[in-house]
């Protein structure tokens, strides 16, 4: 490795040629199950086996066409199931690619963020806490860097890495602590990880609760079908004394009618379409099953920074002992300046006074000294305000040194690379005329104690090159940092910190926090024992000199206000869980309309440590407005656990490494796509591409809609199946052959019903879905009222179909007790009419199924164009099967006359009447409303 490359990285030309040589930094994913096995897995289903057995019986009974069609349908079904499953899996892995890790590398002397796939050997990468290591390499520089290598070694205790003894790092492992730089040695399949190529992505195979419920239901239906078919066979053959072949075909028809053939594929498609819709809304769901869980969310635990706020920090005020500074200029552009009030001065008014005071007293009264400066005229401070300058220099040096962010100017737009809080601190220092590179040159970095969300501070030990003095600089949450300070700086003086002074300082920060400002305190000290390679935390973070507080704004996200209103309407509770100051969080929450001004509880991490689990349970269960502030990730986990114990369905956001356990424990773990660490993204079920709270709410509503729509088509499909069974059973009572042949039943179940079902799955959001409390997760779809509903519709469908069948027989001379030959034209005609009326009843029923309570006449007819297209297709298919002679041999159908079609169409509208009456009663007399 060339020496030059270590500081500047590769040039883009070098990188491009290396990329050609070594290829993309990718692990070729091994297909877990061969496609053919995935296809055959479709045949494991009990219901499918029943169909295959039915086909075998049809063959035995000499009905080769029936048998072949059943087999054809089984294969078609398996293909649909397989293709849909495959497509869904592909769609999810494509979405996952959107989350593919980025790498921070040095190229052409600057740090840039690139897709990890573009890494090449020789690249210098910058590693931070939470990063997934993107390639194999060697550590060049480290600050207490620790790496979780469990994925390779199984050892879950993170390993300390350094540039000497233990410098090798491996792709796929994760930085759990610290930061540093490394040089890439191997990429892609040449890495250790590539060699074993064990890509773990099993989770998306997880089935949703609804899918599991349906699998159980499938087994149940399967068993019932077997028993029914057997009983019918026995009755028909032994009691009624019918032909063996007739009874076998009867049993086959029953088996086919009872099995909802089209359902599994429809559910997979509905979920997969849902996942795609969510992706469009910026919510990337990693498992199909999460879509459903999302819909039942009752509580959202949200971070503040970045989720409720923009995470665009600007230091606005600085408190430096006797000096109160207002910082001018917004964003990361280092332009603006400082306006300073010196409250400790004697009467003296500078000529530039009169601009925005901090509010202690008006400068015009002459009580305060006031002056302004910016990066151009900063140097004059050394003469005019030497005491202030000395204080300011130390504070700004802390800002610059204790910082891993970088200001980037691209096409005259300023942005940052790294943590926005640190970016804001850098910008402030630059606005005050301190140049980052110059400060870095003055000091040699010796040791860093990185920031972590538990400690809420970061420290740095440096050696001043000119004097050889060893200094410690610390920045962090003021309430945590103050106890570590023994003195405070006031201009060029040092004042011991007593209890009153500490109290006063905390009050000052509270006042800032109350105005939604995020506060970071800075402190420093000289370390008396120089020239050590490593200092203990206690040696660094004790007896510090308090320099002051930087207060930054982080404006709330505009779109969140609307989203919060929706959560209120939808009965979803929102808890803020933040590492920030409670008052800052409260001020933001108030601005967003999340909490009221009074009666809000702010529970801090410290308080949480003191209260028992039972009390916390009591607290969260009561639904009080609560902000959890200054909490650590461990507290977060405890809150999530407690909420789950209280029976809530919890969605939790997180971005840090330590958030991973909470994300994994939550029902829906939500990671931040922009600011989130790779570790958090991996632990989450859903990733927000835009980090916004609004997207969570949109996703929940989408989840509710998808679930609701699945209920709609399950209702629709089961009405049809029950209808078919009832039609068959009613004719048994009359000792007649089945009104529908197995083949026609299959046509309905897999052709004419499937497209309207799919169209129901994309029904638009109905307004009242947002105004209802969340669904209870323990209530299954197949609960009493739901079953009664499809039984009623099924009963009507079945009886009407049977009536049409029998009616046509009677009209053609048949009388009760008479025989009907299943090869006769009369039977073909009657069965065709039964098939047509059942299909048409179902087509009318699609409209009924759009809502559980709302009248068809109150819903917009053209709202769902897919529905109209699907119905047109199904009716078209029915007409074709009936009217085109080619199909007659296969389906045993017969062409009907216009008047027959007309009569059947009129009869089918009775379906509307039945459901309208039921809906009327449900709307007016039912006590509990379940759904729209
Ligand atoms: P949320 O959890 O809502 O996103 P947050 O981002 O404010 O909140 P943390 O990042 O854990 O939570 O920050 C908690 C506190 O730690 C902040 O209020 C601040 O005082 C301090 N802090 C934040 N970032 C840094 C940093 N880079 N260096 C030192 N202290 C920091």
pLDDT tens figures, 835-869: 999 999 999 999 999 988 889 998 888 889 999 99
Nearest of 277, 295, 284 to residue 92 by alpha carbon: 284
Q: Report phi then psi at 602, rounded to 5.
A: -110, 110
Q: What is the pLDDT of residue 346?
A: 47
CA atoms within 13 A on the CB side of 132: 21
Helix (H, G, I), strand (E, B) or coil at 669: strand
CA 301, chain centre distance (Å)? 13
- Asked if pLDDT for residue 246 goes beyond 80, the answer is no
Q: What is the pLDDT of residue 604?
A: 92
Contact 313, 294 (CB under 8 A): no
Name the more confident of 154 and 50.
Answer: 50
Alpha helix positions (H), 734-824: 742-747, 754-760, 784-811
- Residue 216: count other Cβ atoms within 10 Å of its Cβ: 12
Q: What is the pLDDT of residue 620?
A: 84
**What is the residue-wise DSSP string for 267-291?**
HHHHHHHHHHHHHHTTEEESSHHHH
Q: What is the pLDDT of residue 375?
A: 85
Average pLDDT over every residue of 614-627: 83
pLDDT tens figures, 571-593: 899 999 999 999 999 999 999 99
Q: What is the pLDDT of residue 157?
A: 74
Beta bridge partners of 342: 323, 369
Lowest mean per-residue pLDDT among 186-195, 630-639, 861-870, 911-920: 186-195
C-alpha–C-alpha distance, residues 249 and 742, integer Å: 8
Neighbouring residues of 564: CB distance < 8 A, sequence distance ≥ 6 = 574, 592, 593, 594, 693, 697
> Where residue 196 falls among pLDDT bands split at 50, 70, 90?
low
Q: What is the pLDDT of residue 99?
A: 62
Q: Report phi then psi at 373, rounded to 5.
A: -160, 165
Q: Give yes or no for residue 451 CB within 6 A of ligand 1.
A: yes
> Where residue 802 falls among pLDDT bands split at 50, 70, 90?
very high
H or E element: which one contains 457? strand 457-464
Q: What is the pLDDT of residue 367?
A: 54
- Ligand 1 centroid to Cα of residue 658, in Å, is 13
- Asked if pLDDT for residue 199 goes beyond 50, the answer is no
Closest CA to ligand 1's atom 19: 477
Q: Give yes or no for residue 457 CB within 6 A of ligand 1.
A: yes
pLDDT tens figures, 71-105: 888 888 788 778 877 776 776 666 666 666 788 99
Nearest of 102, 128, 152, 129 to residue 658 by alpha carbon: 129
First and final CA of the chain: distance in angstroms?
67
Q: Give yes or no for residue 705 CB within 6 A of ligand 1.
A: no
> Where residue 717 falls among pLDDT bands split at 50, 70, 90?
very high
Helix (H, G, I), strand (E, B) or coil at 714: helix
Q: Give yes or no for residue 458 CB within 6 A of ligand 1.
A: yes
C-alpha–C-alpha distance, residues 760 and 757, integer Å: 5
Q: Percent of the chain at pLDDT above 90?
A: 40
Report residue 153 as tokens.
């070694």
Q: Give yes or no for residue 419 CB within 6 A of ligand 1.
A: yes
- Sign of the CA dihedral running 656, 661, 664, 669: negative
Q: CA angle, corner 385, sides to 380 and 387, nearest 5?
A: 130
- Sign of the CA dihedral running 637, 642, 643, 647: positive
Closest CA to ligand 1's atom 4: 305
- Asked if pLDDT for residue 554 goes beyond 50, the answer is yes
- Asked if pLDDT for residue 149 goes beyond 70, the answer is yes
C-alpha–C-alpha distance, residues 41 and 37, integer Å: 6
pLDDT tens figures, 221-234: 788 888 888 887 78
Name the more confident of 45 and 105.
Answer: 105
Q: Which atom of ligand 1 is nearest to the CA of 581?
A: 18
Q: What is the pLDDT of residue 98?
A: 62
Q: Which atom of ligand 1 is nearest to the CA of 302?
A: 3
> Where residue 661 falls among pLDDT bands split at 50, 70, 90?
confident
Beta bridge partners of 408: 415
Is 753 annotated in the active site? no
Q: Percent of the chain at pLDDT above 70?
A: 92
The per-type count for the chain, helices as H runs and strands as E runs, is 34, 28
Q: What is the pLDDT of residue 884?
A: 94
Of 204-208, 261-265, 680-684, 692-696, which has the strongest mean pLDDT? Answer: 692-696
Q: Give yes or no for residue 518 CB within 6 A of ligand 1.
A: yes
What is the SS3 assignment for 80-147? HHHHHHHHHHHHHHHHHHHCCCEEEEEECCEEEEEEHHHCCCCCEEEECCCCECCCEEEEEEEEEEEE
C-alpha–C-alpha distance, residues 257 and 749, integer Å: 8
- Asked if pLDDT for residue 549 goes beyond 70, the answer is yes
> Where residue 138 falls among pLDDT bands split at 50, 70, 90?
very high
Q: Which atom of ligand 1 is nearest to the CA of 520?
A: 20
> Where residue 260 falls among pLDDT bands split at 50, 70, 90?
confident
Closest CA to ligand 1's atom 2: 578
Neighbouring residues of 884: CB distance < 8 A, sequence distance ≥ 6 = none
* Beta pairing, strands 493-496 & 485-490: antiparallel
C-alpha–C-alpha distance, residues 618 and 488, integer Å: 42
Average pLDDT across the chain, whole number: 85
Contact 492, 387 (CB under 8 A): yes
What Cα–Cα distance (Å) separates residue 755 from each residue in 264, 742, 759, 875?
13, 20, 6, 11
Q: What is the pLDDT of residue 318?
A: 96
Pocket test for ligand 1, best of 449, 456, 457, 655 (most atoms within 8 A of CB): 456
> Where residue 123 falls among pLDDT bands split at 50, 70, 90?
very high
Q: Give yes or no for residue 421 CB within 6 A of ligand 1.
A: yes
Report residue 883 as tokens.
């009217």
Q: What is the pLDDT of residue 110?
A: 86
- Asked if pLDDT for residue 205 goes beyond 60, the answer is no
Nearest of 682, 693, 655, 649 to residue 668 by alpha carbon: 649
pLDDT tens figures, 453-486: 888 999 999 999 999 999 999 999 999 999 999 9
- Asked if pLDDT for residue 347 goes beyond 50, the answer is no
- Asked if pLDDT for residue 156 goes beyond 70, the answer is no
- Asked if pLDDT for residue 874 goes beyond 50, the answer is yes
């Amino acid at each position: 490795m060339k020496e030059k490359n270590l500081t500047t990285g590769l040039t883009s030309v070098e990188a491009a040629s290396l990329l050609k040589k070594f290829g993309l930094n990718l692990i070729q994913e091994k297909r877990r199950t061969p496609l053919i096995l995935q296809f055959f897995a479709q045949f494991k289903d009990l219901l499918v086996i029943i169909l295959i057995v039915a086909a075998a019986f049809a063959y035995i009974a000499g009905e080769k066409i029936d048998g072949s069609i059943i087999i054809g349908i089984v294969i078609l079904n398996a293909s649909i199931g397989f293709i849909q499953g495959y497509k869904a899996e592909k769609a999810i892995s494509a979405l996952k690619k959107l989350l593919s890790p980025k790498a921070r590398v040095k190229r052409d002397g600057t740090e840039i963020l690139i897709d990890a796939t573009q890494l090449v050997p020789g690249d210098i990468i910058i590693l931070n806490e939470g990063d997934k290591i993107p390639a194999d390499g060697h550590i060049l520089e480290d600050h207490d860097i620790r790496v979780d290598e469990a994925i390779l070694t199984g050892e879950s205790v993170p390993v300390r890495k350094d540039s000497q003894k233990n410098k090798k790092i491996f792709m796929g492992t994760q930085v759990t602590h610290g930061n540093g730089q490394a040089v890439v040695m191997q990429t892609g399949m040449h890495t250790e990880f590539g060699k074993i190529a064990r890509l773990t992505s099993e989770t998306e195979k997880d089935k949703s609760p609804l899918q599991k419920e349906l699998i159980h239901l499938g087994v149940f239906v399967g068993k019932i079908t077997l028993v029914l078919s057997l009983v019918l066979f026995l009755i028909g053959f032994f009691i009624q004394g019918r032909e063996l072949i007739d009874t076998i075909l009867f049993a086959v028809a029953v088996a086919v009618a009872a099995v909802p053939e089209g359902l599994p594929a429809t559910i997979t498609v509905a979920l997969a379409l849902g996942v795609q819709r969510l992706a469009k809304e910026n919510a990337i769901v990693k498992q199909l099953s999460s879509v459903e869980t999302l819909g039942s969310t009752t509580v959202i635990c949200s971070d503040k920074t970045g989720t409720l706020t923009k995470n665009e920090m600007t230091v606005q005020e600085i408190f430096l002992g006797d000096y109160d500074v207002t910082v001018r200029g917004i964003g990361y552009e280092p332009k603006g300046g400082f306006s300073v009030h010196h409250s400790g001065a004697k009467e003296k008014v500078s000529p530039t006074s009169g601009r925005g005071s901090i509010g202690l007293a008006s400068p015009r009264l002459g009580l305060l000294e006031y002056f302004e400066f910016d990066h151009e005229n900063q140097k004059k401070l050394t003469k005019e305000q030497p005491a202030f300058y000395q204080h300011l220099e130390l504070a700004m040096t802390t800002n610059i040194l204790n910082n891993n962010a970088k200001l980037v100017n691209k096409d005259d737009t300023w942005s940052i690379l790294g943590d926005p809080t640190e970016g804001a601190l850098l910008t402030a220092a630059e606005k005050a005329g301190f140049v980052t590179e110059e400060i870095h040159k003055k000091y040699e970095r010796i040791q860093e104690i990185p920031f972590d969300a538990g400690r809420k501070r970061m420290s740095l030990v440096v050696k001043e090159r000119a004097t050889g003095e060893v200094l410690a600089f610390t920045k962090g949450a003021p309430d945590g940092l103050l106890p570590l300070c023994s003195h405070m700086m006031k201009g060029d003086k040092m004042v011991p910190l007593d209890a009153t002074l500490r109290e006063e300082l905390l009050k000052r920060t509270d006042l800032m926090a109350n105005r939604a400002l995020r506060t970071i305190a800075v402190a420093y000290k000289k370390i008396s024992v120089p020239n050590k390679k490593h200092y203990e935390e206690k040696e660094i973070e004790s007896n510090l000199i308090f320099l002051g507080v930087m207060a930054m704004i982080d404006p709330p996200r505009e779109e969140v206000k609307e989203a919060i209103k929706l959560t209120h309407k939808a009965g979803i509770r929102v808890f803020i869980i933040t590492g920030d100051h409670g008052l800052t969080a409260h001020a933001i929450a108030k601005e967003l309309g999340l909490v009221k001004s009074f009666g809000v509880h702010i529970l801090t991490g410290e308080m949480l440590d003191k209260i028992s689990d039972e009390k916390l349970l009591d607290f969260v269960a009561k639904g009080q407005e609560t902000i959890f502030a200054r909490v650590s990730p461990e507290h977060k986990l405890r809150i999530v656990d407690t909420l789950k114990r209280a029976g809530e369905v919890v969605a939790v956001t997180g971005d840090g490494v330590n958030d991973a356990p909470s994300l994994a424990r939550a029902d829906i773990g939500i990671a931040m796509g922009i600011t989130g660490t790779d570790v958090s993204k991996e632990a989450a079920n859903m990733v927000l591409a835009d980090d916004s709270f609004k997207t969570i709410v949109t996703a929940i509503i989408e989840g509710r809609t998808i679930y609701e729509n699945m209920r709609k088509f399950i209702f629709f499909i089961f009405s049809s199946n029950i209808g078919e069974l009832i039609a068959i059973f009613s004719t048994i009572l009359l000792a007649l052959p089945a009104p529908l042949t197995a083949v026609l039943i299959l046509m309905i179940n897999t052709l004419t019903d499937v497209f309207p079902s799919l169209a129901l799955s994309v029904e638009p959001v109905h307004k009242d879905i947002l105004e209802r409390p969340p669904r209870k997760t323990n209530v299954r779809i197949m609960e009493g009222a739901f079953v009664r509903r499809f039984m009623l519709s099924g009963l009507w469908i079945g009886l009407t179909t049977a009536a049409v069948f029998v009616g046509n027989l009677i009209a053609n001379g048949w009388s009760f007790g008479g025989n009907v030959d299943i090869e006769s034209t009369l039977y073909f005609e009657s069965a065709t009419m039964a098939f047509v009326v059942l299909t048409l009843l179902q087509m009318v029923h699609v409209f009924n199924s759009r809502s559980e309570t709302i009248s068809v006449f109150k819903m917009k007819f053209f709202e769902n164009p897919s529905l109209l297209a699907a119905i047109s297709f199904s009716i078209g298919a029915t007409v074709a099967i009936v009217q085109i002679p080619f199909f007659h041999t296969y389906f045993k159908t017969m062409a009907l006359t216009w008047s027959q079609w007309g009569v059947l169409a009129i009869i089918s509208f009775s379906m509307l009447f039945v459901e309208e009456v039921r809906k009327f009663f449900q709307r007016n007399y039912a006590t509990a409303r379940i759904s729209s």
